Amino acid sequence: MGQDLERTLGICLLGHGTVGSGVVKVIDQQNELLRKRTGIRFEIRHVVDREVAKKRALGIVLADGRPLPLTDNAAAAIDDPATQVVIELFGGINAAKEYIERALNLGKPVVTANKGLLAGHGASLFDLARRHNTCIGFEASCGGGIPIINALINGLAANRIDALLGIVNGTCNFILTQMTRQHWSYVDALKAAQTAGFAEADPTLDVSGRDAAQKLAVLGSLAFNVRIAEADIHVEGIDKLDAADIQFADQLGYVIKLLAIGERQRDNSSAPQANSALILRVHPTLVHKDNVLADVAGSFNAISVYGHALGHALFYGRGAGSMPTASAIVADLIGIGLGTLPAAFRQMRVFPDTTPPAEVVPFEQLVSRYYLRLAARDEPGTLAQVARILGEHAISVSAIHQHESDSRQIVPVVITTHLANEGAMQAARRRIDALPSITPPTVCLRIIEEPREFAGA
């Protein structure tokens, strides 16, 4: 590439934490490689951090000999004419939104990993960017370093996406992996995740399922060409999951994963269409060991996408961490520098400010297979009563497994079903829990059936 085509892109980085330090490292250490590949020299002009004195004491020096250009004045750093792109890594909502809006109002492109902000305010922020002829890059918001955003916007643009499902929270996947392989309790697995740096001191956002729901809102909006809000998604976390259910699932040939699932509604008479209503959910799910998602371990993420033309594609990689996430952020920087990301933003009608609200199927209308675990008194007629209640709600039993117990009074009974209606299942569960011979609550988990490739192609 000729020297006359080269230029410099000035960067303002908001936040020098785990991910921000990774961004600095990638840009600083790989700047020459990036310049050779793109013809752009990426220059870090401001690093905004709340603990400037502490960071300066570290004595960080860039490859060109400059000290890390630290400041605590975000507004001045954003406003600086030498700042041409702003990377937001503060996290949270209010301050991040304020600074992103400030940059967009100045016509400066923004790169962010803030899936919570995008899930809650994406439509208004994208609209603001469009009105000021700029753009937002958000590859790092979902899946860490996995290039799933670019795939949905560009690589899979020829496809009607019928289903998107996967493991999008590395913290929960690490915890479930330890519970499965080490036979640990949830509490012990969570402590290990915190010690390893995969879980926050307050892990609520992750283990409640909300983090996965926010990512599903972002990914689903792109995949299905609609605007999805976090409130559209049924959410259950792993914080109440019992290790006994992981063991019983293993005996049945399944592993339990926290899955984010978005799929078009279908029935027996027709394949899903582009305007089909959506079923959106996040919950612990029994995944058969033959499914590739069952082998995704530790903090890795994996997202399955089903397109009417492509069929099944799996995107797998590290879902978090300093360098993987920095990889995605720098990819957006390159897209901005080359003009490909702004061009796609101007032309593509897949962003939530340009798409209609999603038509969402009420969760009670979900059709799924189910896993039930009952704590039943060991006395004649109990299972007959349970089977009768299920039958009265049109729920067909696939298998019943009664396990021995140290107690002569209460035994665990595991039931799997054929396809059944969610509303009917919950009504049946309430009646089962009301039986004198049952100790509530009955555990109810869903069993995923892999979507069919080329449905209605």
Residue 55 burial by Cβ neighbours in a 10 Å radius (0-12, 13-18, 19+): middle
Structure tokens at 319: 């879902």
User: Global pTM?
Assistant: 0.94
The active-site residue out of 215, 240, 257, 289 is: 215
The letter for the amino acid at 310 is: L
127-157 per-position pLDDT tens digit: 999 999 999 999 999 999 999 999 999 999 9
- Taken in order of first residue, the domains within the chain and their CATH numbers are 3-113 (3.40.50.720), 159-318 (3.30.360.10), 363-447 (3.30.70.260)
Q: Is residue 3 within 8 Å of 63, Cβ to Cβ? A: no
> 45 falls in which pLDDT band (50, 70, 90)?
very high
50-87 per-position pLDDT tens digit: 999 999 999 999 988 999 999 999 999 999 999 999 99
Annotated catalytic residue 55: no
Q: Is residue 226 within 8 Å of 358, Cβ to Cβ? A: yes
pLDDT at 266 over 80: no
pLDDT at 230 over 50: yes
Q: Is residue 245 within 8 Å of 443, Cβ to Cβ? A: yes
318-373 per-position pLDDT tens digit: 998 899 999 999 999 999 999 999 999 999 999 999 999 999 999 999 999 999 99
Alpha-helical (H) ranges within 312-366 are: 322-338, 340-347
